A and B are shown apart, each in its own frame.
Chain A
Amino acid sequence: MTTSEHPLLQLKGVGKRFGGVVALRDVDLSVRAGQVQVLLGENGAGKSTLVKMIAGVHEPDTGSIEIDGRPVRITSTRDAESHGIATIHQELNLVPTLSVAENITLGRTPSRLGLVDRRGMRKLAQEALDRIGLSVDLDRKVGTLGIARQQLVEIAKALSVDARILILDEPTAALTRTEIAQLFTVVNQLRDHGVGMVFISHHLDEIAEIGDTVTVLRDGAFVDEVPASTPEPELIRLMVGRSIEQLFPRRRPDLGEVLLQVKGLSSEGRFDDVSLQVRRGEVVGLAGLVGAGRTELLRAISGADNYDSGTVAVGGRQVPRHDVAAGVALGLGHVPEDRKTQGLVLGASVEDNVGYATLRSHARGPLADLAGQRRRAHQVSEQLRIRLNDVRQPVRSLSGGNQQKVVFGRWTLAGSQVLLLDEPTRGVDVGAKVEIYELINAVTEAGGAVLLASSELPEVLGMSDRILVMAGGRIVGELTADEATQDSVMSLAVKEVESTRVH
């Protein structure tokens, strides 16, 4: 703590309307030097609106913002910068084709007589990296760094303009466990240096680890401010407004015959000799570190990518390789890793998006069955409880959880029996997560089979009936739901990486 009696940043009763919609009303937030203030709330609770106010993107309609106890107006991102506020967004603001040094000094590149002063630039960049204790090659192109290091470069860049207030918007969403640990080391250093931070995360377990106090928002309103040591169930209750008895409500139906049969599937450099089967009514989890080959395996099974050898069969009928349409016809449904770039056409309507897989099968000759598409879209959005005003609204305007349900809806309409789920709850809030788990239950209760890949270990453990651990492109172990623990899975995932490596 510093000697200053005022918080670095204080928002008092701020509110914001967009047209007729109240995005935020009467919210208080204070950020103190050397403190990590966690902002918690479901998607649509108003976190991003609040962050955008601090970052100078939106101005509040009501209430006031104070910095060091003095009221200020932040009307542009440049204003925010001059007040020492830096924001690390989920989408990084780096130029992948430029070097680390060029990126860090972008916008204030040192120059002499109009020429880039390379030595000055490297010196500035090196200082910025030193400040957060990051060692990377200054000349390396940023695009060749992993996502975690890119993020750290961005933080270094932000701090090099003397930021005192750092806003981290879901910085851990795309990071592995070790990378998160590296990020948290940096956060702790900055805390010691008196930087005040706002930290947004969907991972409740990170809150106690890194936060000091937690501000909870719900439906655009301030709910409470509690210490970061508050137990998780209580945090969920505050956030969702009701208590969720079970985060992983898995109900196991009786198992039927084998529905998905994968034999000896290999793809050079991606995965090797993978065999597995999933029965009717079963959820099989795929665990493993990032890069273990889970996504590649699911994509190959679905037909999205080609493979070298092996077979995939659904209900005893072989699926031709690299043919998504054939897989869909045989009952495969693939919920890809990234719904925004792979799952959805964001600018298109909900009814179009749920209908892509059934456009041809419901057509009369070359004519699309437009009325039927709309009717089915209504049905499925009701059935899956997709919250929307109109099936004709663009899918972009839905929250993350509802967007994901639209991808599920596509396969519900297609009558898919085998769902290949890749990170099905990434970037989805707790309430919607539980709804997605209930969808998984509904699929298996109706006699379907689910292959679930996720880097959230609690999710794999909580929702799977059987767990396959992948490492280095191979399946290195199988655990039943009862015997699997975080430790038993991780020790398999890590051990094998050391001994066997593809490449």
Chain B
Amino acid sequence: MSTETTTPAKPARTSRQRLGQFLSDNGALVGLVVVVVAMFIATPDFLTTTNLLNVGVQAAVVAILAFGMTYVIVAAGIDLSVGSVAALSAVSAGWIVGQGMPGALGLVAGPLVGLLAGLLSGLATAYGKLPSFIATLAMLSVARGLTLVISGGRPQSMPDEISWLGSRVLGVPVPILVTLVMFAITAFVLNRTVFGRSLYAVGGNEEAARLSGLAVKKLTAAVFALSGLYAGIAGMVLAGRLSSAQPQAAVGYELDAIAAVVIGGASLSGGQGRATGTLIGALVLAVIRNGLNLLNVSSFWQQVVIGLVIALAVGIDVLRRKTS
């Protein structure tokens, strides 16, 4: 990743340094630019409005999951259940509507189911003292199982209120709008609220946070509840796009969400991470998938490429931190 090419020909020394600092603080952004340029060179179909909106829609579900995951990772936890919880939320919404309830109620109930599932993981982690890896691994299985039980393994049809999430407003796909709203909320909560600032302390050093009087257990439980809520919303968007809730939807999405957060510069040991980084991380993944599709690369090889990209992105980040 050369920074030379983007530097103006005769820059003042300080502005060059400032640019260097900006680039090293925003490694993920540089990565995104590189990937976009590479895809544009490889196929002219990439940089069209239609395709870019397509990338946005493809990124949406993972991005929303990843915003929720950002809270968890900043607080030094991990949430493996988000994919299953998204599916459970969607199927629950479908089931409620199937019982004759209004569609709007389904739209509200789905995310609430996600919130509840996340809260259970959070309580098990904060008060049951299970490692979050284990608590959410259990929830991954429980939520997927309940999804199959509720749906009987059959897709649930979605009411108009939820299918609307797959439509467009003023030409912009609704999943993109939902993603932007969730991004703004996440950035705001992490940067500006007492809750958000406290998470960085909890993730950076839980004991120091506790001895300063922060309510570490409540914060921990809340973080997983939030992640569950985000997963519920992602589930609605996914079901809206497909106009149906698939019991096998979003399998493995937790890994993409974690990858997006980590590519965005968060540390799995906690105390670091930003909503902006996560958004960029999700876009990097979506751009690569989309580009490889345009280039007719088989989905089998796509998995290989994505894995290498994750290793590369985090590897570069580790090196960057070591040298700075």
Contacts and interface: CB of A to CB of B under 8 A. Distances in A.
B192 A324 contact: no
A143 B75 CA distance: 28
Contact of A356 (B192, B195, B196, B209): B209
B195 A366 contact: yes
A212 B197 CA distance: 51
Contact of B194 (A343, A346, A357, A367): A367
A225 B194 CA distance: 53
Contact of B193 (A324, A344, A345, A368): A368
Nearest to B193: A366
Interface in A291-308: 302, 304
B204 A359 contact: no
Interface in B194-212: 194-198, 200-201, 204-205, 207-212
How many A residues touch the partner, as a band?
20 to 34
Contact of A324 (B200, B201, B210): B210
B211 A359 contact: no
A367 B213 contact: no
B205 A341 contact: yes
A345 B200 contact: yes
A366 B198 CA distance: 12
Given A328-B213, A343-B211, A356-B214, A366 B194 contact: yes
A352 to B, nearest CB: 7
B212 A324 contact: yes
Contacts of B207: 341-342
Contact of B192 (A302, A344, A348, A368): A368
Interface string A326-351: 01110000101000011111111000
A363 interface: yes
A348 B271 contact: yes
Interface in A349-386: 352, 356-357, 359-360, 363, 366-368, 370
A328 B211 CA distance: 9
Nearest to A338: B207
A359 B198 contact: yes
A357 to B, nearest CB: 5
Given A366-B195, A368-B193, A368-B194, A304 B204 contact: no
B111 to A, nearest CB: 20
Contacts of B193: 366-368
A357 B207 CA distance: 13
Given A342-B207, A367-B194, A348 B213 contact: no
Contacts of B215: 325
Interface residues of B, number: 22
B209 A359 contact: no
Contacts, number: 74
Contacts of A360: 194
Contacts of A359: 194, 197-198, 214
B211 A327 contact: no
A495 B305 CA distance: 70
A345 B204 contact: yes
Contact of B211 (A304, A367, A370): A304
Given A345-B204, A367-B193, A304 B212 contact: no
B212 A352 contact: no
A304 B211 CA distance: 6
Nearest to B272: A347
Nearest to A342: B207
Contacts of A345: 200-201, 204-205, 208-209, 271
A410 interface: yes
Interface in B59-76: none
Contacts of A336: 211
Contacts of B209: 345, 356
Nearest to A299: B211
B197 A352 contact: yes
A410 B212 contact: yes
Interface in A192-242: none
A327 B271 contact: no
A13 to B, nearest CB: 28
A346 B210 CA distance: 15
Q: Which one of B194, B207, B208, B213 has the highest number of Cβ atoms from chain A below 10 Å of its Cβ?
A: B213
A327 B207 CA distance: 16
A357 B200 contact: no
Nearest to B216: A324
Nearest to A329: B213
A178 to B, nearest CB: 29
Given A345-B205, A345-B271, A347-B204, A368 B211 contact: no
A413 B252 CA distance: 47
A356 B272 CA distance: 16
Of A357, A359, A410, chain B has the most CB atoms within 10 Å of the CB of A359
B203 to A, nearest CB: 9
A352 B191 CA distance: 12
Contact of B208 (A328, A343, A363): A343
A300 to B, nearest CB: 13
Interface string A368-410: 1010000000000000000000000000000000000000001
Contacts of A304: 210-211
A292 B192 CA distance: 44
Contacts of A367: 192-194
Nearest to A325: B213
Contacts of B213: 324-325, 327-329, 356-357
Nearest to B195: A366
A363 B208 CA distance: 20
30 contacts: A324-B213, A325-B214, A328-B212, A328-B213, A336-B211, A342-B205, A342-B207, A342-B208, A343-B211, A344-B208, A345-B201, A345-B204, A345-B271, A346-B204, A347-B204, A348-B200, A348-B271, A352-B200, A356-B198, A356-B213, A356-B214, A357-B212, A359-B194, A359-B198, A359-B214, A366-B193, A366-B195, A367-B193, A368-B192, A368-B196
Interface of A: 302, 304, 324-325, 327-329, 334, 336, 341-348, 352, 356-357, 359-360, 363, 366-368, 370, 410
Given A347-B271, A352-B197, A356-B212, 9 more contacts: A302-B211, A328-B212, A345-B200, A345-B208, A348-B204, A352-B201, A356-B201, A356-B213, A367-B193
